[in-house]
């Protein structure tokens, strides 16, 4: 969920599309005022217009990349894209190890970054894929 500046935005209750499962079930009434970007339910037209203006105004921040001055929809798309690219780069095992380091860190950000970099360069992680290239000349000789 994108941030307003550096603050978390709390949504109104949201509307979820109903999937009809049985023939005898009644479909619940669709609320009159729903914000298109978030599916929030608004009480009246004025609240809906305020929400639309808020979501179209460039005050939003992507919580992953830190990009500022975005509309809600662009910040949401940026978060989705960043999340996908992070998942491609880091496996769950690597992410878990790095998050443990971050969570228990009490040092400055610069030292934390160096620690994370060194960990990525020098350690293997359980479940991590490793590619080994066999060299043409053996480094060890058999006796």
Q: What is the pLDDT of residues 78-116, one digit of tens each?
A: 999 999 998 888 878 888 888 888 899 898 989 999 999
Within 31-124, where are the H helices? Answer: 45-56, 72-89, 92-103, 109-122
Q: What is the pLDDT of residues 22-75, one digit of tens each?
A: 666 677 777 788 888 888 988 999 999 999 999 999 999 999 888 999 999 999
Please state the pTM of the whole predicted model: 0.66
- Give the angle subtended at the CA of 37 by the CAs of 46 and 9, to the nearest 5°: 80
């Amino acid at each position: 969920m994108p941030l307003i500046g550096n603050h978390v935005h709390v949504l109104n209750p949201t509307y979820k599309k109903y999937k009809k499962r049985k023939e005898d079930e009644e479909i619940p009434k669709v609320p009159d005022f729903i914000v298109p970007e978030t599916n929030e339910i608004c009480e009246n037209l004025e609240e809906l217009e305020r929400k639309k203006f808020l979501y179209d105004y460039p005050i939003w921040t992507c919580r992953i990349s830190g990009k500022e001055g975005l509309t809600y929809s662009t910040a949401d798309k940026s978060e989705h894209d960043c999340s996908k690219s992070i998942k491609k780069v880091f496996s769950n095992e690597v992410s878990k190890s790095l998050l443990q380091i971050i969570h228990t860190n009490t040092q400055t950000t610069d030292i934390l970054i160096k620690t994370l970099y060194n960990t990525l360069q020098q350690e293997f992680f359980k479940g991590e894929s490793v590619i080994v290239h066999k060299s043409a000349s053996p480094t060890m000789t058999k006796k």
